[in-house]
Each structure stands twice: as C-alpha cells, then as structure tokens.
Amino acid sequence: MSKIAFISAILSCVLSCTVEDPSQYKWREAWDSGETDPVVDPVIPETKGKPRYVWVDAAANYQYYANDANYIAADCQRIAQMGFTDIVVDVRPGSGDVLFASSVAPACRKVAAWVNGRYRWVERTANFDYLATFIAAGHAEGLRVHAAINTMVGAYHTSIGDVGMLYDHPERKDWCTVDNLPGGLTNAMEDPDTGPRFLDPANPAVQDFLLTLLGELAAYEGLDGIVLDRCRYGDNNLDAGYTEAAKAAFTTYRGDAPSKWPVIPQGQTYVSSTPSQLEKDWLTFRCKVIHDFMAQAVEKVHGVNPEVKFGVYVGAWFSDYYRSGVNWSSSRYNLKANESSYKWVPSNYQKTGFGDMLDFIFLGAYAGTNGIHGSTEWTMEGFAKLGAKRLCGDVPFAAGPDIGNGSGFENGHQEKLIPDIVNTIMGCSDGLFIFDLCHIRMFDYWDAFKTSIDNYLKTL
C-alpha cells in the first residue's frame, strides 16, 4: 500500500467490533441500578510511569455506547485494568454533531458507521449525557478523561445518505471549504466523494462557532483535557481552501490580490521543486490560519478553565504535512536547516509552528506491522524520535500506532507485536497513544496490552 493510500485508509476506514455482553463485567452498584448521572470525582491518583492513552472514536464505538451507559462503565474498567492512564473520548464525529451539552451544535442522534465493509446507520435513542458519563466512569476507575472533537468538519456524506449540521442548515453552505476539483472550484457540500465535509478554517463565522464549542467543553465538570482532531484543511490537501473568505484574508495577508486563483494547479499534490512566490505565500498563509486559530483556541479553553489541558492530534508524517495546512513543530524549530522537504519555505513560515503553545500533543505514528523500529518516517520509532526533534522539548507528546487499519494490522492477530510497540514507544516519547479502542475489542488485544504495560511498569 502506498503512503497516500495508507493515509486515506486511516482517515476514512472505521472498523466495527462484535458486540459483547456487558453483564459479564463487575458492576458498581450505581451502574447496576441504572443511574447514568453519578457524581464526578475529580481526584485522580498519581500514575506510575509515562501516561498511556487510548482513543475512543465516536463512530466506531457508537453501537456500544450511544444507548447504554453500562458499556461505558465496563470498558472504562477494562481500560484501567489494562494499565492505561487516560482515555480520549471523541465527542464530535465527522458529521459535526456533538455528544455533549451544547447551545450551538445539534446533538448527535445517528452516525453512519463502517460496519463489516459497508456503511450502516446506528441511531441514538438514549438521552444521558455521553461525555459526563465517560468522565464519571473514567474517574471512578482512576482514569483521566479528555474530550476530542473533529474540528474543521460540519457534515458527512455516505453511500447510504447524509448526516450533520450543514445538511440541517443549508444556509451555512458558505462555511464549507471550496476545493479545486477536476470539474473546477467546488463547494465541499457538492463533492460526490464520500467522507466528511470540511469547513473553511479562514471563515470567521466558522472560527467563532468552534471557539464557542470549545468554551462549552472547557466548562464541563471534571474534564481533564481537550483534543482537537482534523484541525486542518480537508482530505484534498493542496486542493482545499479556495473560498471567498480565504481569498479576502489572503489578499490582506499579502497586501494585494493574488494574480492566480486557485493558486496551486488542479491535480498537484505536493509543492513543486521551484514554487512561485505566490505559491509559497499561499502555503504559508494556510498554516498561519491554523496557527492563529490554535492560539485563539488555547486562549478560549484556558480562559474558561485553566486546569483543562489543551492539545491536538496530528499525523506524524511531518515531511509532507504542509499539504494539510499544518505546521505542528515548535516555532523554535529550524525547518530550512533540518527538513529537506521544506527548503522552499519563506522565513516567516517558521512562525506558523504551534507545538510550543500546547499542553500536550498526539503524534499518529501510523506505520505498519513491519515498521516498529527505525530512524525515519513510516517507522513508529522514527516517527517518535523525529517528532521529539521537531517539538524541541517544548511540549510533551504521546506517539503510537493505528492497530486496526493499514499494512499488516487490518486482519488482527498481532498480539506478539504489542510488547515491542509498548516498549519502543515508551522509550522514545513522553507517552503511549493507541488508536483505537474498537480495535482492541475487535481483535481481543485486552490481555496483550495488560501484559505489555505490566512488564513496562516493572522496568521502572
């Protein structure tokens, strides 16, 4: 599988899991009685060793948690028993609807989940507070709980239908990005391909909406952290971002109107070997848009609650991550001196680095089963070591693999690799990050992670 195809797979493929019977697990009396709003205990005991995070994707796990708080309690118990210290709960899937109390965003009532090789609708009929339930259940087991949102998205188009706030509010169509597709400039809502409908990061209305959401999240009692996912330009990469709002902001940034629009020729997927000054400016501008939004997000979250940690998830393949309009390195990192694929950048590009303004960051070290060790990208160890270099020690980071998608992981039966993955990542990063809980369930990796983490802790 090519790198591009692999990235596409991890962005779009969400695997299903066989539904288990939660009655097999030990219950706390509150959950047995059907109580779904227990008191949150914010006191989390100190944990031994580096933090260990497991991600809980909304769509992939929706069939378990959407209507049954017992599953949430059961899996928090099992996550703690495995030796993880933190859970990252996705509360805004690709549809843009939410699984927490919001005054501005609609509640997520259904998702189009990828189940057994096809999309199918999974609906929510329960009304318990999804996020608050995770906070309570996680804290009851000594876990820290972080809320993740898919950020620059507003709807989802699938082969079985459409879902999300932009379909419910067609007047917000101009919130979407405009992409340079083969048929010309196309609003994301009119893109025939399946997938999330990306928002325009340069649109002030989009930014204000998202900042309001983050303020509501930061106010949640007991929440330990907030994580931004998909805080970037769309899956079309260099094709994305050609809205009128972006053109106006780009004109202000440059001091004059662009002589060519769209700036990057259709079909070009990487920066050319001799980019024009206009192309350099455009690629820098997109990263500045994300950088400036990130700064506002940090200020918003910490302004509401200074105790809530703020971070992001990014792909660790930094060498071409500029295509998504993101520079996750520290602003102190010298790109031109250290990155062969960034020789083209103008001097002000380095200022778009935002890693040093975060409380923590997740690096998706999404190498295949044959890529645990190494010193380069597309190995887990290389991703982590290069990530440490690019972040300059300015922010703690957790790295780790996608254990369900991609080369060698997609069919399971990789228990034997998990001890090596845990030890390798723990040895070259500030923490372990595993995507996703659904894959642990699907491939029955519970015992493998417990044994591996127990053995890691014995070395401390």
What pLDDT is attached to residue 114? 79
Residues 224 and 146: their CA atoms lie apart, in Å, by: 5
Q: How far is CA 251 from CA 177, 186, 257, 351, 445, in A?
A: 17, 21, 5, 19, 52
Residue 22 has pLDDT above 50, yes or no: no
Residue 17 has pLDDT above 80, yes or no: no
Q: Name which residue leads in pLDDT, 8 or 138.
A: 138
User: What is the arithmetic mean of pLDDT over 431-437?
Assistant: 98
Highest mean pLDDT among 41-55, 71-85, 227-241: 71-85
Residues 115 and 438: their CA atoms lie apart, in Å, by: 12
Residue 25 has pLDDT above 50, yes or no: no
Residues 240 and 302: their CA atoms lie apart, in Å, by: 30
**CA angle, corner 428, sides to 424 and 429, nearest 5?**
110
14 band by pLDDT with thresholds 50, 70 and 90: very low
Is 134 in contact with 146 (CB distance < 8 Å)? no
* Residue 451 Cα to chain centre, angstroms: 27
Domains and CATH numbers, the chain: 3-458 (3.20.20.80)
Residue type, 139: H
Taking Cα atoms as reference points, which of 360, 392, 86 lies closest to residue 227?
360
19 band by pLDDT with thresholds 50, 70 and 90: very low
Residue 85 has pLDDT above 80, yes or no: yes
44 band by pLDDT with thresholds 50, 70 and 90: low
What sections of 142-276 are H helices per DSSP? 165-168, 204-218, 244-254
Q: Name which residue leads in pLDDT, 24 or 341.
A: 341
Residue 404, CB-side half-sphere exposure with 13 Å CA sphere: 25
What pLDDT is attached to residue 41? 42
The three-state secondary structure class of 366 is coil
Taking Cα atoms as reference points, which of 366, 403, 406 lies closest to residue 387?
366
Dihedral angle, C-alpha 47, 399, 215, 327, nearest 10 °: 150
Residue 33 has pLDDT above 60, yes or no: no
CB atoms within 10 A of CB 383: 29
What pLDDT is attached to residue 257? 97
Q: What is the mean pLDDT of the chain?
A: 91
Residue 253 has pLDDT above 70, yes or no: yes
The pTM of the whole model exceeds 0.95: no
H/E stretch holding 146? strand 144-150
Residue 277 has pLDDT above 60, yes or no: yes
Q: How far is CA 259 from CA 96, 256, 263, in A?
A: 35, 9, 8
What pLDDT is attached to residue 236? 65
What pLDDT is attached to residue 419? 98
DSSP state of 383: H
End-to-end CA, the chain? 38
